[in-house]
Structure 1
């Protein structure tokens, strides 16, 4: 019997029942009504059950493909863990339609061990199918997922935040910063909740890994990577207290339904294996993918060869969600060092002098400078001193001296009346305001027939607008400078790696700041007028920087240089480097540098060089540079840089 005939038959039977059985009582009426519903309901369900074509359409939808991390180009999934899939035993052949059907079947399966049921292992798939194909789950069991509900805090999460940890020059994997996802409960909007759950993506690197192997494997996909979950206080301790890195919290304005879907998919991804690539398929790439599950527009183009945490933060700052900005608020989470420095800087000069007196006086409080202060002023001084000893504990080897000093401070603090700190940390320079990480530059040198072309995939130099980055430093990878004239193209300079940092003291107190350092590995000319003076060069240096005023910083470095060109009489030498960084305004900054070489380095070049470079412009996307250098002869240039 076809569905239409069955429908007519059931209707006639229902009318017949109503005619021959009069409604003599309430109970009788209820029985008859249930019988009628039973006879007619089957037809409605049959009409609404999705067809094979509808199921196929859903299996090719963007959201389903994102849920199984299907790679449209490779026709497989980026996930390397076969336990993530239900329709195949290998990750090399993923069929979205078969996976959807297998998921529906698993969601409807009888319950044996609740937390092992598909509804508990794949809650995001369950939410998606329940919304798109609700009648396919009509007879599915009701499962209580204790582990997921406990982790999800019974849906107590009200919003999501993307956390950006600033760059860290002591570890190549942290040069460009790091991203985390934080799940905020209701109270997190008002103040930072360290017990919030967070999601991290990182490579599984063996302890004490060889640095060369570490870099090579990170670049070529030699490491597996997984999502992991931890309470946020662990990341706050690792980044803010140990590495002394500021973090920036970008709270997102997603609605509750989308928040729940992202969290449910996060649960599915924990400890699921991916391949890790340092420059692309990294924390920024994977967390952006996760957020794109609920966004209409992508946060980045997958065709890009480089994806940095900044790439995603910058994209978020320009992104909309349901016709409003996706970023609801921005909060800075200062490191232990930043807390100490900003509290110290907020003190009046006489209070700063009191801090110096206590520190240099072996943490005794009987000096006149301290005793002359009011109780409120003493409280401010002691608060800075507590942060200072905490900072020292993080930077120095563990010892009892800092603990004893902190005990002295706390004993002194107890003797004073209670007071409340009202320090407000600076939030004027969030990282998305900095210049974009990749650069191409076009300019003219000396005359219009000599063109300069430069390309730098990453990351910033001493004149770059460095919001959210390390001040007075540079990190350059793989920069290539070409000189083009009418007859030929010449490689002028290639920088495989160029790192420089001053490590300035912000307060003048012991342990704050230290030696600056630099590393250069590349190919360059040591003379503007010598065609045979191009060398492969390794340069390392140590030095000190001094901030003369808030706008002027100076430095003096000693450098050891090794070259591989046999043209020179010596293969190694030393030089001294003297420099000034001058912040004239937000739009103008200059770098002046003078170098003095060992006079026996080469008979073909002079033993000194000078350079002056100035940046004009305050845009994230462009600037103009004017540069003059003297290495045997003068070379002047003007160039336009585009950042992307």
Structure 2
């Protein structure tokens, strides 16, 4: 070390190198961690820095006193401004040749110190991409005052896996689960993410503005700069965006937002932990804002229309601009509601339309816009209160105990554990209503004849497109995919069979978000042996009905036609009653060879 560093007591350096905030700045996630989560060699100034916080501190102090390079961005202070800010609380750095304020790259990223606040952004789940099934988290750097919706040029920080173009889906899933990808932080304009999530993928966003002090906010921004483009190893379940962003906030708050006893970390868990966290005598979150997707805005407007107004919207959507004069009639306020709905509708159509359809949709949108300009500005305020806010929702993991019974067999007790995430009876939020996303769902039964595995779901995904308006273009296809094993019959003592299936279909919600009827045609494999007899095709019908905010029903009928002309029919009725936010009661009746029924009490954790 240079002679100018001899003033620093080695014992003080040793003590500081053991402090948890220093270790977290280096990417050590816990006191027990022996290796930093950051794998990029460029993140460390010592060759042993990834494993030795003391050597990294010595190397950092030494590098801070090095002479200024031709490009100031290459100086250690400019590369690691958060380390400088933290160490400057403990050491006198008056003789250091560079300060963070002189670093061009860092000052540009930090908006010249004009970051007024920092927000956690939650994007709801998206079943079109496995990496986004559970939702996604971003960090936003705000500088334009309180009106967050008008500040789209702010900076957004994203953490994600680095995936090659055109990666095979099965390879993508396998490598994502087993750590086959590098990952890292990137930054770009917030507008890009609001457009991609809210307009293209039709996902609602929730913004949680944090009440960080000036010093903590500055330290967090500086640490983000240090982490940009530094590689991590990505694991889909527990070293994902949720985990890394939680670790990011832990650097400045000292609070732990993950549960070390769980092998998975989900975005909603982090949102709930952050929202419920204390910070300097108050809550960490100071305000919450809901940013609805294009689809949510359309559906909200459509729900506010009366029967005659909906009819006018349908006529205009089917017949186009030539029909505007005869369909846009009545009181001026009613005309405004119809035209505003059509404006949202045509913008929504552009998201799902084929390229050759876009010019016609844009022409119709312009015609409606010109007709709207003929009326007075303003109109009825649209109620866009978010439903099922992620911070208020139930936890994502589920445990239940129950009893099932049927003719010719003794009753059996059941235990079910579902690590994540939801099924068609408890799915929360507009974007995934009546859908299913479950992984590692296991049910075991116990009775006079011993215990047995009733059902194992490795993965089950069911996407129900409600198509609420019934307008042209609002008719997405539903689909389901499942892989696992289950008992072939309740009357069988032990006939566990491997099962995998996929199906595609169509759903209709009859203009209401409370009931949806779906029809599917699919096929798969279901057998206790590996012979061709297990292959089947299956038509099925499914009705989902939300009777109230606490009671959901699902009725299912399917008929499996097997390879050698055997067939098996299944009819099932499920009911769920929400007792509290974290508990429920479930009942079912099923007829598959024989009829049986069951009930269970569940707890979300």
TM-score normalized by the length of structure 1: 0.86
What is the match of residue 573 of structure 1?
A: 536
Residue range with higher mean Cα deviation, 281-290 or 408-417: 408-417
1:235 aligns with 2:193: yes
- Aligned-residue offset at 1:574: 2.9
Tell me the distance in 1 between the aligned counterparts of 2:179 and 2:529.
37
125, 132, 140: which one aligns with 2:96: 140
- What is the 5 A alignment of 1:102-501? 102-112=59-69, 113-131=71-89, 133-135=90-92, 137-143=93-99, 144-189=102-147, 191-374=149-332, 376-399=333-356, 400-419=359-378, 422-446=381-405, 450-464=412-426, 466-467=428-429, 470-501=432-463
Find the counterpart in structure 1 of residue 53 from structure 2.
96
2:583–2:602 CA contact under 8 A, matched in 1:
yes
- CA distance in 2: counterparts of 1:378 and 1:468, whole angstroms: 27
Q: Is the 8 A contact 1:536 1:565 kept in 2?
A: yes
1:619 aligns with 2:580: yes
SS in structure 2 of the partner of residue 134 of structure 1: coil
Aligned twin of 2:497: 535
Q: C-alpha distance in 1, partners of 2:230/2:513?
A: 48
Structure 1, residues 558-603: CA drift from partner, whole Å, max 9, x if none?
A: 3323334459884333333233323233232222222334498676
The answer to whether residue 601 in structure 2 is matched with residue 640 in structure 1 is yes
Shift of 1:49: 5.8
Cα deviation 1:39-85 (Å, max 9, x = unaligned):
xxxxxx99x96532222111111110000012544522111111111
Equivalent residue for 1:82? Answer: 41
Contact 1:431 1:468 in 2 (8 A): no
Distance 1:180 1:588 in 2: 33
Range with bigger deviation, 275-284 or 553-562: 553-562
CA contact (8 A) 1:435 1:465 kept: no
Deviation at 1:544, TM superposition (A): 2.9
Shift in CA distance, 523/392, structure 1 to aligned 2, threshold 3 Å? same
CA deviations over 1:500-552 (Å, ceiling 9, x no partner)? 22201121111113322111222123322134754222222233333355533
Gapped runs of 5+ residues in structure 1? 1-44
Give the counterpart of 2:486 among 500, 509, 524. 524
SS of corresponding position for 2:328: helix
- 1:617 aligns to what SS in structure 2? strand
CA distance in 2, matches of 1:565, 1:550: 40
Answer with 52-61 or 284-293: which moved more. Answer: 52-61
Structure 2: unaligned runs, 5 residues or longer: none
For the Cα contact (< 8 Å) 1:432–1:467, is it kept in 2?
no
Q: Distance in 2 between the 1:428 and 1:483 partners?
A: 36
Residue 472 (structure 2) aligned to one of 510, 523, 531:
510
Higher mean C-alpha deviation, range 557-566 or range 53-62: 557-566
How far apart are residue 437 of structure 1 and its match? 1.8
Q: Name the SS of the counterpart of 1:314 in structure 2.
A: helix
- In 1, Cα distance between equivalents of 2:268 and 2:367: 43
**C-alpha separation in 2, matches of 1:569 and 1:301:** 45
Partner SS, residue 481 of structure 2: strand
Q: 1:288 to 1:235 in 2, by over 3 A?
A: same
Cα 1:468/1:363, change in 2 over 3 Å: closer
Shift of 1:553: 3.1
Instruction: Report which stretch shifted further, 525-534 or 229-238.
Output: 525-534
Instruction: Please tell me whether Structure 1 or Structure 2 has the larger radius of gyration of its CA atoms.
Output: 1
Cα pair distance change 1:271/1:243, threshold 3 Å: same
CA offsets per residue over residues 395-417 of structure 1, 9 Å max, x none? 11123211222232233234444
**Whole-Å Cα distance in 2 between the matches of residues 106 and 420 of structure 1?**
62
Deviations 1:235-274 (A, max 9, x none): 1111111111111111111112111111110000000110
Over residues 271-317 of structure 1, what are the superposed CA-to-partner deviations in whole Å (9 max), with x where a residue is unaligned? Answer: 01100001110000001100011113211123421001111011122
Aligned-residue CA RMSD in angstroms? 2.6
- Secondary structure of 2:253's partner? coil
Match of 2:252, SS?
coil
Q: May I ask how many residue pairs the two structures share in their alignment? A: 592
> What secondary structure, in the 3-state scheme, does the structure 2 residue paired with 1:157 have?
coil
SS in 2 for 1:98: helix
Pairwise CA distance, 1:161: 0.9
Asked if 1:594 is matched to 2:557, the reply is yes
Sort the Cα spacing of 1:165 and 1:637 in 2 relative to 1 into closer, same or farther, 3 A.
Answer: same
Distance 1:599 1:208, change over 3 A: closer
Partner of 2:522 in structure 1? Answer: 559
CA contact (8 A) 2:337 2:379 kept: no
Q: Is the 8 A contact 1:240 1:334 kept in 2?
A: yes
Q: Could you say what secondary structure the match of 2:580 adopts?
A: coil
User: What CA distance in whole angstroms lies between the structure 2 residues aligned with 1:601 and 1:431?
Assistant: 48
Contact 2:342 2:368 in 1 (8 A): yes
Offset from partner CA, 1:322-368 (integer Å, 9 cap, x none):
12121212111111111222122223333322222211122224543
Mapped partners of 2:398, 2:141: distance in 1:
35
Q: 1:434–1:467: 8 Å Cα contact kept in structure 2?
A: no
SS at 1:209 equivalent: coil
CA contact (8 A) 1:539 1:561 kept: yes
Q: Give the TM-score, by structure 2 length.
A: 0.91
